[in-house]
Chain A
């Protein structure tokens, strides 16, 4: 089978994502028809209230969904390549658990949105720093990093349990539980601006670096024989992926599966070359989360937590992909 497919995938993906973005702005539970919302958005006519709703509530939320989806998908693709393991995402490095601990800590002291976002970002970085430190001491081999990541995740999970156990069950515990379920309903421009900045810088880095990521899928000795400084590169790439995940999780809470599933779909579509895989993952991740978040806030009278929705859709998707992978590998032997 030839693998020339997918060169034009982005020409399909980008307009599709843009269309979803627009749809997401004009639909919602506020009782206006999409066409009116569209006219208000374009400034043709419509009430100030409607314009404000779209520009101050829906627009930041949709941009947040795009950033979170793109970040999770791109870092998932990068980490899967780096670990030479298609079943890896940000979870294995302890990012998610670290972020969740930070948020739970802030919420247990009744911290505001900025405190939650800041602490969850800091602890996500701290968790990975700990993993990277352990990994570096033992040669930065993928196996060591994965084991260190699992250990650090378990540590933070236990600490989250402790916080939930001692948190006030009436006022604080629900907030923590709700945050852990994941969602974008709290998206506001003030907290979103730094997220957009980090996302643009991080994605640009991976787009520029995309071809070199191919080389990092080789074994350490093989990559070194091609003239690469493997260990520092691995640490830089893990660091950048971590920042992208951390900044995403800090505004969205726990949203699983995007980082695992989207890169697989993208890879099946455009092939393994990161020059195409990275942009495809970014656009597909953004489109997926915009779509899911639009469903989360429109189909039921009350909002469905996004983490639950991605799980409900993500788990079957993951299973299907996994079984396909097993079958195609089996056919080769």
Chain B
């Protein structure tokens, strides 16, 4: 499937657009990163892509069909959302949490059956945590919770998953663990839109990068094209240097002016 945003704008308050004419497109197997400072419109863009918010102008479409023409249930079968980690109120088990992803496939009074539970097992297997199935979601680590939410998106049957800052609150090993799973699932045919504050991760995992500055697309393209010292300065209002490690991986090093003596 192709998920495409064309010229999308969004205003919470009339006349004050937080997104202005943003376009983005990805097909199966691709990972798109959305970078930008706090308040640059990353989360709003994700909500427009998931259909939870209707763009004030512009169109989001799935295989050419505008999202607005789909029912919420149809939408949820194409596009899954992996929200930021938050404290759940109740101790659902991992399997129960992933099973919630079956909602768009079940009628109002229907209960999930053995078929749905088998799908849950496959989703947990795909992210490598089938062994935690009966653990309480509240008792596992942040990285594991993130994997549960990805598995929920897979159980949902969504081809495209939208992830809001999956690396936030996670140590480097877990960040790369999650993003490695993302990359692997993308190889298997899923597509991902990932918001992030880490350009380094975009270099490592993204097929395309959209860099938002105050709600507009400052640059959009392959990571090396979209993330430059110039675009980073525009995005974050400070100087960066882009360096290349011995493995060939690029990384962003902030340029901190030395403290003036005295």
Q: Which of A's residues lie within 8 Å of B, judged by CB?
A: 1-4, 81, 84-86, 208-212, 214-215, 217-219, 221-222, 224-229, 267, 271-273, 275, 332
Contacts and interface: CB of A to CB of B under 8 A. Distances in A.
Contact of A224 (B52, B71, B112): B52
Contacts of A212: 103, 108-109
The majority secondary structure among interface residues of chain B is mixed
Contacts of A273: 92-93, 96
B83 A209 contact: no
Interface in B79-97: 79-81, 83, 86, 88-93, 96
15 contacts: A4-B134, A81-B90, A211-B106, A212-B103, A217-B89, A217-B90, A218-B100, A221-B47, A224-B72, A225-B81, A226-B156, A228-B72, A267-B90, A271-B91, A273-B96
Contacts of B106: 211
Given A85-B89, A222-B83, A332 B104 contact: no
Contacts of B77: 227
A332 B139 contact: yes
A225 B76 contact: yes
B52 A275 contact: no
A332 B90 CA distance: 14
Contact of A1 (B92, B103, B139): B139
A273 B92 CA distance: 6
A227 B81 CA distance: 11
Contacts of A228: 72, 103
A210 B89 CA distance: 17
A3 B135 contact: yes
Contact of B134 (A3, A214, A225, A229): A3
B65 interface: no
B156 A211 contact: no
A248 to B, nearest CB: 24
B175 interface: no
B149 to A, nearest CB: 9
Most buried by B among A84, A224, A227: A227
A204 to B, nearest CB: 10
B218 interface: no
Contacts of B14: none
A227 B106 CA distance: 10
B233 interface: no
B100 A214 contact: yes
A332 B89 contact: no
Contacts of A209: 108-109
B80 A214 contact: no
Contacts of A85: 89
B75 interface: yes
B73 interface: yes
Contacts of A3: 91, 93, 134-136
